[in-house]
Structure 1
């Protein structure tokens, strides 16, 4: 083979959501921090993201997690997430994928019955505690960064549903959270296409009408995702995070569940010690716990813990032949749907 680039990639999924982990072959990404490195991909050179995520090597219903050397001494590894639209700073399901790969491939030594792994992300440190047995990472709990609310019950004007109420909250990225009964649908696999298209439209509408900026990381200044939610029992919430260009998160979504927990605490529906379950459209679950309260930039914030499971399903090499006309990937509207770039 005459590949001009070769990447080592581990296939992992967390509760159904694919988060492949790039373990080698990339070289140095410029930047002093993980945030700087992520911004380099987003603002200077996104060829690596395109190569991995776009067809023919990638697909929309997956993320690629790029391992980078940690920039904080207490961390075992740094990473950020590359998706169809851009690189993102944090994801619960992808953190579970990364920890599972680090331990099961021996990049970080596994200790039974529990291994602590500290991840350096673009929005701070994340401490993971993996339950390990017989060489297997059986589950991962994540002590997430502080989650906080920007707005509750904010009215947004939409062309198809008139005014709807959304909560704006940060759980690792910014979310607009929408009670799904406002759009007259249930959260299930059958409605995934329609919810995905609505979520993409709503994200554009909300970003036109709402301005956000993280108090500690000013470059985190956009609502990344719309999450539809539905309370099905006192401690059980259905969640459906929608991602550009128009798909749903197969997992219950860790950062979205953190953002949802922040809104519950702001309404007095959750407190320190509260334990909840987030359930995805395919029925997989994350355990959610409120560990404490804190403050971020003068805003009340909560400290969430998310627990879920990951599974390694492949070890592969990804390459590009110098004669391949699709070395930088391509997009086709049959899979991108409403999110296909215009013009």
Structure 2
């Protein structure tokens, strides 16, 4: 059943969280289950039929330019516990690492029964601690570490989809920024990785406008210059964002990065799919071995740690299974309403 603005008042409830600073708004009531035999089919349905709902929950006046959200679905793999679709200011993601960390925290602490998957028994999940989650990019396996009284999730680790280096040491002309060297990698989505020092930028919150400008200019230039084809799935064949990397502020860490994705969103976390792709790049260059930890700071100084759980292959590309760890916190619960005569009911965006 698709969602369209109605002639009567509509209500939607959400649970909101953040994972190392990056928001996640989880819809818990107001929408029926989504059709589709695979998560990619569910994503296609959402893109075609649920754009109004995405805009209502993500954009102003209920959200903002950097809001991020999730719809819980029935699993599409027989061994999985649930599925999830992620959304943002431009559309629907294929995978999201901070979203997995926040979603698991939401399920095990708040135990919602979402209208999009009413048979989900979160009380039963709380005893499992290990959840298999279907995403459009594939199945991920998350493991929660609970507090001694089992009421809180202290951190979440998840084994991501196979991640791989796609192209190394490419150069592109970027208007306003000159010739820029970049790498391409897949960690659930494709990213272009660049060095902040090549751009004359530092990875500080005060520089976020310049980082958006650079990240989007690089994304557009790479999209024009280098066609991306996922070796197995055409629906994954697009450049999701730019990751601008630099040296960490804490010498105990290995890197600091800022991810600019979708329509100029700035990830406040270190980006779970992004650090997965970065681990694949480090592996391709022989700088990260299975079992070694690689900790990345965000623009806020929060961290995700990634390790190579195992080696793999994706249609001839040497790949890894990255395991990413981080934390999330519930920040609130909302009931949003939509009046039938609201002229801005489907949202707007001013940055």
Instruction: Assess same fold via TM > 0.5.
Output: yes
Pairs within 5 Å for 1:26-175: 26-107=31-112, 108-109=122-123, 111=126, 115-133=129-147, 134=149, 135-175=151-191
Determine which structure has the larger strand proportion and give its number.
1
Distance 1:180 1:132, change over 3 A: same
2:289 paired with 1:271 = yes
For 1:235 and 1:58, the matched residues in 2 are separated by 33
Deviation at 1:29, TM superposition (A): 2.5
Deviation at 1:43, TM superposition (A): 3.9
Pairs within 5 Å for 1:233-248: 233=251, 235-248=253-266
For 2:230 and 2:174, the matched residues in 1 are separated by 25
Does the Cα contact within 8 Å between 1:252 and 1:280 map onto a contact in 2?
yes
Partner of 2:342, secondary structure, is coil
Does the Cα contact within 8 Å between 1:156 and 1:209 map onto a contact in 2?
yes
Q: Structure 1: which 4+ aligned runs deviate by more than 4 Å?
A: none
Deviation at 1:322, TM superposition (A): 1.1
For 1:325 and 1:165, the matched residues in 2 are separated by 45
For 1:291 and 1:28, the matched residues in 2 are separated by 34
Partner of 2:236, secondary structure, is coil
Partner of 2:176, secondary structure, is coil
Deviation at 1:150, TM superposition (A): 0.9
Report the number of matched residues. 331
Distance 1:328 1:84, change over 3 A: same
Deviation at 1:27, TM superposition (A): 1.1
For 1:45 and 1:129, the matched residues in 2 are separated by 30
Deviation at 1:45, TM superposition (A): 4.4
Structure 2: gaps spanning 5 or more residues: 1-6, 113-121
Deviation at 1:32, TM superposition (A): 1.6
For 2:53 and 2:233, the matched residues in 1 are separated by 24
Does the Cα contact within 8 Å between 1:20 and 1:97 map onto a contact in 2?
no
Q: For 2:336, which of 294, 318, 322 is the aligned residue?
A: 318
Deviation at 1:246, TM superposition (A): 2.4
Alpha-carbon deviations, 1:95-118, whole Å to 9, x = none? 111111111122423557x71111
Partner residue in 2 for 1:202:
218
Q: CA RMSD in A?
A: 1.7
For 2:28 and 2:80, the matched residues in 1 are separated by 16
Deviation at 1:280, TM superposition (A): 0.4
> Scaled by the length of structure 1, what TM-score is found?
0.92
Partner of 1:88, secondary structure, is coil
Q: For 2:237, which of 201, 206, 221 is the aligned residue?
A: 221
Deviation at 1:138, TM superposition (A): 1.1
For 1:127 and 1:155, the matched residues in 2 are separated by 35
> Scaled by the length of structure 2, what TM-score is found?
0.90
Deviation at 1:5, TM superposition (A): 2.4
Partner residue in 2 for 1:12:
17
Partner of 1:185, secondary structure, is coil
Deviation at 1:222, TM superposition (A): 0.8
Partner residue in 2 for 1:249:
267
For 2:281 and 2:228, the matched residues in 1 are separated by 16
For 2:126 and 2:37, the matched residues in 1 are separated by 31
Distance 1:330 1:161, change over 3 A: closer
2:308 paired with 1:290 = yes
Partner residue in 2 for 1:178:
194
For 1:281 and 1:235, the matched residues in 2 are separated by 14
Deviation at 1:231, TM superposition (A): 3.4
